[in-house]
Protein backbone atom coordinates (compact mmCIF):
# COMPACT_ATOMS: atom_id res chain seq x y z
CA UNK A 1 0.00 0.00 0.00
CA UNK A 2 1.46 3.35 -0.93
CA UNK A 3 1.66 6.02 1.72
CA UNK A 4 0.61 9.42 0.49
CA UNK A 5 2.80 11.59 2.76
CA UNK A 6 6.44 11.51 3.83
CA UNK A 7 7.86 9.17 1.26
CA UNK A 8 10.17 9.38 -1.69
CA UNK A 9 7.61 10.18 -4.35
CA UNK A 10 10.25 10.18 -7.07
CA UNK A 11 10.37 6.42 -6.62
CA UNK A 12 6.59 6.17 -7.13
CA UNK A 13 6.86 8.06 -10.42
CA UNK A 14 9.89 6.11 -11.59
CA UNK A 15 8.36 2.72 -10.89
CA UNK A 16 5.01 3.76 -12.48
CA UNK A 17 6.77 4.80 -15.68
CA UNK A 18 8.88 1.64 -15.75
CA UNK A 19 5.74 -0.50 -15.30
CA UNK A 20 3.98 1.45 -18.06
CA UNK A 21 6.83 0.93 -20.47
CA UNK A 22 7.09 -2.78 -19.76
CA UNK A 23 3.32 -3.21 -20.01
CA UNK A 24 3.07 -1.39 -23.34
CA UNK A 25 6.00 -3.36 -24.73
CA UNK A 26 4.39 -6.65 -23.72
CA UNK A 27 1.11 -5.69 -25.34
CA UNK A 28 2.72 -4.29 -28.46
CA UNK A 29 1.33 -0.86 -27.64
CA UNK A 30 3.12 2.42 -27.96
CA UNK A 31 3.67 4.68 -24.98
CA UNK A 32 3.63 7.81 -27.13
CA UNK A 33 5.03 11.09 -25.85
CA UNK A 34 1.65 12.48 -24.95
CA UNK A 35 0.57 9.26 -23.22
CA UNK A 36 3.81 9.10 -21.25
CA UNK A 37 3.72 12.76 -20.26
CA UNK A 38 0.04 12.49 -19.27
CA UNK A 39 0.86 9.55 -17.03
CA UNK A 40 3.77 11.44 -15.53
CA UNK A 41 1.61 14.50 -14.86
CA UNK A 42 -1.09 12.38 -13.25
CA UNK A 43 1.62 10.86 -11.09
CA UNK A 44 2.88 14.27 -9.91
CA UNK A 45 1.16 13.53 -6.63
CA UNK A 46 -1.28 11.14 -4.98
CA UNK A 47 -4.03 13.68 -5.56
CA UNK A 48 -6.16 12.78 -8.56
CA UNK A 49 -5.83 15.13 -11.51
CA UNK A 50 -8.81 16.39 -13.50
CA UNK A 51 -8.88 16.21 -17.30
CA UNK A 52 -8.91 19.99 -17.60
CA UNK A 53 -5.93 20.39 -15.28
CA UNK A 54 -4.08 17.85 -17.39
CA UNK A 55 -5.10 19.65 -20.56
CA UNK A 56 -3.82 22.97 -19.21
CA UNK A 57 -0.47 21.48 -18.19
CA UNK A 58 0.04 19.79 -21.54
CA UNK A 59 -0.83 23.04 -23.35
CA UNK A 60 1.75 24.90 -21.23
CA UNK A 61 4.37 22.42 -22.37
CA UNK A 62 3.49 22.85 -26.01
CA UNK A 63 1.78 19.50 -26.58
CA UNK A 64 -1.14 19.20 -28.91
CA UNK A 65 -3.63 19.63 -26.11
CA UNK A 66 -6.86 19.60 -28.09
CA UNK A 67 -9.41 17.82 -25.87
CA UNK A 68 -9.73 14.77 -28.19
CA UNK A 69 -5.96 14.17 -27.98
CA UNK A 70 -6.00 14.37 -24.22
CA UNK A 71 -9.11 12.20 -23.86
CA UNK A 72 -7.62 9.60 -26.19
CA UNK A 73 -4.47 9.52 -24.07
CA UNK A 74 -6.61 9.16 -20.92
CA UNK A 75 -8.66 6.37 -22.52
CA UNK A 76 -5.51 4.54 -23.42
CA UNK A 77 -4.06 4.84 -19.91
CA UNK A 78 -7.38 3.74 -18.40
CA UNK A 79 -7.78 0.71 -20.64
CA UNK A 80 -4.15 -0.28 -20.06
CA UNK A 81 -4.92 -0.17 -16.32
CA UNK A 82 -2.22 2.43 -15.71
CA UNK A 83 -4.62 4.94 -14.17
CA UNK A 84 -8.01 4.82 -12.48
CA UNK A 85 -10.84 7.29 -12.63
CA UNK A 86 -11.96 8.43 -9.19
CA UNK A 87 -15.61 9.08 -10.03
CA UNK A 88 -16.52 11.16 -6.98
CA UNK A 89 -13.70 13.59 -7.79
CA UNK A 90 -14.08 13.32 -11.55
CA UNK A 91 -10.31 12.96 -11.74
CA UNK A 92 -7.58 10.48 -12.55
CA UNK A 93 -5.17 8.65 -10.28
CA UNK A 94 -2.05 6.71 -11.18
CA UNK A 95 -2.22 3.02 -10.31
CA UNK A 96 0.71 1.55 -8.40
CA UNK A 97 -0.14 -2.04 -9.26
CA UNK A 98 -0.99 -1.80 -12.91
CA UNK A 99 0.69 -5.12 -13.60
CA UNK A 100 -1.86 -7.04 -11.49
CA UNK A 101 -5.51 -7.51 -12.35
CA UNK A 102 -7.55 -5.76 -9.66
CA UNK A 103 -10.48 -3.52 -8.88
CA UNK A 104 -9.89 -0.10 -7.41
CA UNK A 105 -10.70 0.48 -3.76
CA UNK A 106 -9.95 4.05 -2.86
CA UNK A 107 -9.50 5.78 0.46
CA UNK A 108 -10.03 9.47 -0.23
CA UNK A 109 -8.82 12.01 2.34
CA UNK A 110 -11.35 14.82 2.81
CA UNK A 111 -8.67 17.20 4.08
CA UNK A 112 -5.69 16.88 1.71
CA UNK A 113 -7.48 15.05 -1.15
CA UNK A 114 -4.77 12.44 -1.40
CA UNK A 115 -6.10 9.07 -2.45
CA UNK A 116 -4.73 5.72 -1.38
CA UNK A 117 -5.58 2.58 -3.28
CA UNK A 118 -6.18 -0.69 -1.47
CA UNK A 119 -5.16 -3.70 -3.49
CA UNK A 120 -6.94 -6.47 -1.64
CA UNK A 121 -8.69 -8.55 -4.22
CA UNK A 122 -10.42 -10.54 -1.47
CA UNK A 123 -12.63 -7.53 -0.60
CA UNK A 124 -13.95 -7.74 -4.11
CA UNK A 125 -14.44 -11.48 -4.02
CA UNK A 126 -16.39 -11.35 -0.77
CA UNK A 127 -18.52 -8.41 -1.94
CA UNK A 128 -19.38 -10.24 -5.15
CA UNK A 129 -20.34 -13.35 -3.19
CA UNK A 130 -22.47 -11.43 -0.66
CA UNK A 131 -24.27 -9.48 -3.37
CA UNK A 132 -24.88 -12.69 -5.30
CA UNK A 133 -26.67 -14.15 -2.27
CA UNK A 134 -29.20 -11.39 -2.85
CA UNK A 135 -29.31 -12.07 -6.57
CA UNK A 136 -27.42 -8.84 -7.23
CA UNK A 137 -24.63 -8.57 -9.77
CA UNK A 138 -22.07 -5.84 -9.01
CA UNK A 139 -20.80 -4.08 -12.11
CA UNK A 140 -18.94 -1.14 -10.64
CA UNK A 141 -15.18 -1.28 -10.91
CA UNK A 142 -14.36 1.01 -8.06
CA UNK A 143 -15.36 1.70 -4.49
CA UNK A 144 -14.63 5.09 -3.03
CA UNK A 145 -14.48 5.71 0.70
CA UNK A 146 -13.91 9.12 2.24
CA UNK A 147 -12.24 9.94 5.54
CA UNK A 148 -8.99 11.29 6.91
CA UNK A 149 -5.52 9.98 6.06
CA UNK A 150 -2.94 9.21 8.75
CA UNK A 151 -1.09 12.52 8.33
CA UNK A 152 -4.28 14.62 8.47
CA UNK A 153 -5.56 12.64 11.47
CA UNK A 154 -2.32 13.34 13.28
CA UNK A 155 -2.63 17.02 12.48
CA UNK A 156 -6.21 17.07 13.70
CA UNK A 157 -5.21 15.32 16.93
CA UNK A 158 -2.36 17.71 17.66
CA UNK A 159 -4.65 20.68 16.90
CA UNK A 160 -7.13 19.24 19.41
CA UNK A 161 -4.38 18.94 21.99
CA UNK A 162 -3.36 22.58 21.51
CA UNK A 163 -6.98 23.53 21.87
CA UNK A 164 -7.19 21.55 25.12
CA UNK A 165 -4.11 23.31 26.50
CA UNK A 166 -5.51 26.69 25.57
CA UNK A 167 -8.74 25.99 27.39
ZN1 LIG B 1 4.31 8.63 -3.99
ZN1 LIG C 1 -5.01 0.18 -9.22
ZN1 LIG D 1 -5.03 13.78 4.28
Number of domains observed in the structure of the chain: 1
Report the chain's mean pLDDT, rounded to a whole number: 91
Domain-embedded: residue 113:
yes
User: By percentage, how much of the chain surpasses pLDDT 70?
Assistant: 98
**Tens of pLDDT along 102-140?**
888 899 999 999 999 987 778 888 888 999 999 999 887
Task: Yes or no: say if 39 and 20 are a contact pair by the CB < 8 Å rule.
Answer: yes
pLDDT band at 162 (very low <50, low <70, confident <90, very high): confident
* pLDDT score for 167: 67
**Tens of pLDDT along 40-82?**
999 999 999 999 999 999 999 998 878 899 999 999 999 999 9
Domain-embedded: residue 128:
yes
Burial 144-162 (b: 16+ CB within 10 A, else e): eeeebbebbeeeeeeeeee
Domain-embedded: residue 42:
yes
The answer to whether the Cα torsion of 114, 161, 6, 121 is positive or negative is negative
* pLDDT score for 108: 97
Question: How many angstroms separate the alpha carbon of residue 12 from the centre of ligand 1?
Answer: 5
Domain-embedded: residue 2:
no
Domain around 94: 9-166
pTM to 2 decimal places: 0.88
Question: How many angstroms separate the alpha carbon of residue 120 from the centre of ligand 2?
Answer: 10
Question: How many angstroms separate the alpha carbon of residue 144 from the centre of ligand 1?
Answer: 19
Distances (CA, A) of 91 to 51, 53, 121, 162: 7, 9, 23, 35
* pLDDT score for 1: 45
**DSSP E strand boundaries for 71-133:** 83-86, 91-94, 104-109, 115-118
Domain-embedded: residue 1:
no
Domain-embedded: residue 3:
no
pLDDT band at 3 (very low <50, low <70, confident <90, very high): low
Separation between Cα atoms, residue 12 and residue 2, nearest integer Å: 9
Distances (CA, A) of 40 to 45, 160, 164: 10, 37, 43
Domain-embedded: residue 100:
yes
Ligand approaching nearest to the C-alpha of 113 = 3
Ligand approaching nearest to the C-alpha of 77 = 2
Per the model's pLDDT, the better-predicted residue between 1 and 130 turns out to be: 130
Specify the CATH number for the domain of residue 125: 1.10.10.10
**Tens of pLDDT along 6-35?**
899 999 999 999 999 999 999 999 999 999
Q: Give rounded-to-5 percent helix, strand, coil for the chain.
A: 50, 15, 35
Domain-embedded: residue 4:
no
* pLDDT score for 38: 97
Amino acid sequence: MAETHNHNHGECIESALATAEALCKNQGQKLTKVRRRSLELIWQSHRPLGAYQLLAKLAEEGFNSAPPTVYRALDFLLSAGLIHKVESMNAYLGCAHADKAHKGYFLICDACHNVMELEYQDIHTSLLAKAKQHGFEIRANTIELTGLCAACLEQENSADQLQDKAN
